Chains A and B, each alone.
Chain A
Amino acid sequence: MKQPLIALALVALAACGVIVLNSAFIVDQTQQVVITQFGEPVGGPLKEPGLRWKIPFIQVVHYFDKRILEWDGYPSEIPTLDKKFIWVDVTGRWRIDDALKFLQTMHTEINAQSRLDDIMDGITRNFITRYRLPDIVRSTNRILEEKVYGEGEDVVEEGELESVEVGRDRITRQILDTARNILKDYGIELIDLRIKRINYIQSVQLKVFERMISERKRAAETLRSQGQGVRAEIEGQKEKELRRIVSEAYRKVQVLKGEADAEATRIYGEAFSQDPDFYAFMNTLERYPETLKESRLVLTTDSDFLKYLKKVKTS
């Protein structure tokens, strides 16, 4: 019969299949592996993706991610150098650089995450407590510089605006460098580290709000009084302008009249001085009818008008 033969062939085939499946493995583009033989690492970490072979059953493959991995710390309450309590939340990006070392020291990624928490928390704490709050919040002194040529309309002068000596950028870089050196021993390359969030703790926040409110109120008062000030200025300007206009007009009027009077006087003088006597005679005569109304006249007969009443012939 053929049947036992076929069965035997099938068993052999299955056995071959198991062996092949156990000796071949795939390294994904996103992965790297370490092979161990009875727990002892064989060769270096494999980073090249593709189909790989190993000794079946004896060698074990440990897979690790090759990509950039996330790490997001818990926020921790840290006092700054100037005794302000803040929440600092740090996030970082890392990569398994030396998979063998990583396998030996961390074993799994979950373990590594919690170790990162511990290490980073300590380092962050060390550095944050070393600096004042403005240094941690700001990177540059731009605010101070801009204030100089700002419009200054409602900028409230603040005693607290100290200048920044180190700045957030450099503090985070210091934390990064320190952590990077420590993590090297674990086969981890720390690629980046950033302060994700900084916030005041609740009680400080309330105080800050109070300060903000009082600052705003001060700004509002300043604005109002600026308004009053400008109004007074405009009113003063108005008063001044008004007086200037009126007095200038008065001066011009007087000058115009004076010039006209002078001209008239000159004209009269020029004309009348031709014969002052005749002028006096004529002008006097002209004025008699107006000025001598309703008066009583006593004349003697030797006046020019009546002299002929007394005698015709004058000598």
Chain B
Amino acid sequence: MEINLPNEGMPKLPPFRFGSWMVPVIIALILLTAAGSMFYQIGPDEVGVVQQFGKFVRTTNPGLRLKIPFGIETVKKIRITHVFKEEFGFRTVMTGQRSIFDGGSDRNIQTRRLTHSQYRSSGGGDPFLEESLMLTGDLNVAVVEWIVQYRVKDPVQYAFRIRDQRETLRNMSEAVMRLVVGDHAINDVLTAGREEMQIEAEQMLQDVLDSYGAGVEIRNVILQDVNPPDEVKASFNEVNEARQEKEQVINQAWKEYNRVIPRAKGEAEQKIRGAEGYAVERINQANGDAERFLLTLKAYRLAPEVTRQRLYLEMAEKVMPQFEEKLILDDSQKGIVPLLQLTRERGGREP
């Protein structure tokens, strides 16, 4: 309609003409836009997924690539080597700084996540805590924080199979982690079972995502802080303290044991060695005595009568001077004995 206007409203204007200069300009413009939408660049960590009229036709590798312009072919760039990370029960605000569920230091982050699955009336608790609070197999409660690291293993599947890949991964990760924790006792969850649970969760999550054809490879499921809820933490610590105490008492007892027993063993050994010494001594003495006797006897037998006499006299010589008083009686005068003042002599000897 507007094209007719020049005829009536603006007759004075020079006639609109497709001058010879117009055509090249228009063609140049068309070519320029074509060139602009023909080239695209794929980064070193990316793969390009090309669609022609919406239909997937090919994938392209890093570099400068060509496609059919004017929106006939479109490209989705998928980061294939990059390892993505999802956090559960906490959010990393900046590297090295964690936002845990105390106070609302990061409300915007918390509320952003809350919108999707908000607890309608569960008492408006901390959203991170709701993510991490879970029931263990013995019907206790544990607070489990973990991360999932994943990367795209099949860009085509990743691009076309699931609408919200991240949310799917998050939901399933939560479901799987609760399934795994639900099969362990709280002691296991808090201490020894970590390794096993990580492996289990990783495997299960991978299976679930593979069943969807998500095109995602789970690299790692890593448990972070795993704690009893704050309300019961003190009593868990008490158990730890009691365990320390127990160890200490036992160590003390062993220390006492080790202080006494080796010493007693040593002393016992000492006594035994002493007795062995006694035995050797006793036998040596006996042998000595016996040999001396036998030697003497041998010599004695050469002249028994005289030797006997000599030995007797030698003895008498030694003994006689020792007597304080010697009374010599003739054997025919036996009656004198009662006359000796035995008692007086005794008393006088001890002034």
Contact = CB atoms under 8 A, between A and B. Distances in A.
Closest 8 CB pairs of A and B: A260-B279, A227-B246, A271-B290, A249-B268, A264-B286, A216-B235, A28-B54, A220-B242
A104 interface: no
A83 interface: no
Interface string B194-216: 00000000000000100110000
Contacts of A89: 117, 119
Interface string B13-33: 001100000000000000000
A68 B122 contact: no
B272 interface: yes
Contact of B239 (A68, A216, A260): A216
B112 interface: no
B137 A212 contact: no
A261 B278 CA distance: 9
Interface residues of B, number: 131
A251 to B, nearest CB: 10
Nearest to A6: B3
A28 B51 contact: yes
A26 B73 CA distance: 11
Contact of B160 (A67, A72, A301): A67
B293 A279 contact: yes
B311 A282 contact: yes
B250 A231 contact: yes
B182 A260 contact: no
Interface of A: 3-4, 6-7, 10-11, 26-31, 48-51, 65, 67-70, 72-75, 77, 87, 89, 91, 93, 133-134, 137-140, 142-143, 146-147, 153-155, 158, 160-161, 168-169, 191-192, 194-202, 205, 208-209, 212-213, 216-217, 219-221, 223-224, 226-228, 230-231, 234-235, 237-238, 241-242, 245-246, 248-250, 252-254, 256-257, 259-261, 263-265, 267-268, 270-272, 274-275, 278-279, 281-282, 285-286, 288-289, 292-302, 304-306, 309-310
A238 B54 contact: no
Given A26-B54, A70-B168, A245-B265, A133 B139 contact: yes
A308 B130 CA distance: 129
A228 B242 CA distance: 11
Given A288-B315, A294-B322, A234 B276 contact: no
Interface stretch (B98-106, B145-153, B327-335): B327-335
A88 B232 CA distance: 23
Nearest to A199: B133
Nearest to A247: B268
Interface in B106-150: 116-123, 130, 133-141
B28 to A, nearest CB: 21
A29 B160 contact: yes
Nearest to A28: B54
Nearest to B289: A268
B247 interface: yes
Contact of A271 (B249, B293, B324): B293
Contacts of A267: 283, 286-287, 289-290
B168 to A, nearest CB: 6
A128 to B, nearest CB: 13
Contact of B260 (A29, A70, A242, A250): A242
Given A199-B135, A220-B239, A230-B250, 18 more contacts: A49-B56, A65-B163, A67-B161, A75-B119, A134-B139, A143-B185, A153-B243, A155-B187, A213-B235, A245-B261, A253-B271, A257-B279, A268-B289, A275-B297, A297-B323, A298-B340, A300-B331, A310-B330
14 contacts: A31-B54, A50-B54, A70-B171, A137-B135, A142-B137, A154-B243, A227-B245, A227-B248, A228-B249, A235-B253, A246-B264, A256-B275, A275-B300, A305-B316
Contacts of B229: 209
Nearest to B141: A208
Given A26-B53, A196-B171, A256-B278, A249 B327 contact: no
B163 A67 contact: yes
Contacts of B179: 139, 168-169, 194-195
B321 to A, nearest CB: 10
Contacts of B280: 260
Contact of B182 (A3, A168, A212, A274): A168
A296 B322 CA distance: 9
Contacts of A143: 137-138, 183-185, 188
B199 to A, nearest CB: 15
Contact of B249 (A65, A75, A201, A227): A227
Contact of B326 (A158, A237, A281, A297): A297
Contacts of A245: 261, 264-265, 268
A257 B275 contact: yes
B67 interface: no
A91 B131 CA distance: 14
A8 to B, nearest CB: 9
A309 B316 CA distance: 15
Contact of B275 (A74, A252, A285, A286): A252
A289 B318 contact: yes
A168 B176 CA distance: 11
Given A75-B122, A235-B253, A238-B261, A292 B322 contact: yes
B175 A194 contact: yes
A305 B327 CA distance: 13
A279 B289 CA distance: 11
Contact of B328 (A158, A161, A246, A309): A309
Contacts of A306: 328
Nearest to B296: A282
B305 to A, nearest CB: 12
Interface string B265-302: 10111011011101111110111011101101100110
A278 B261 contact: no
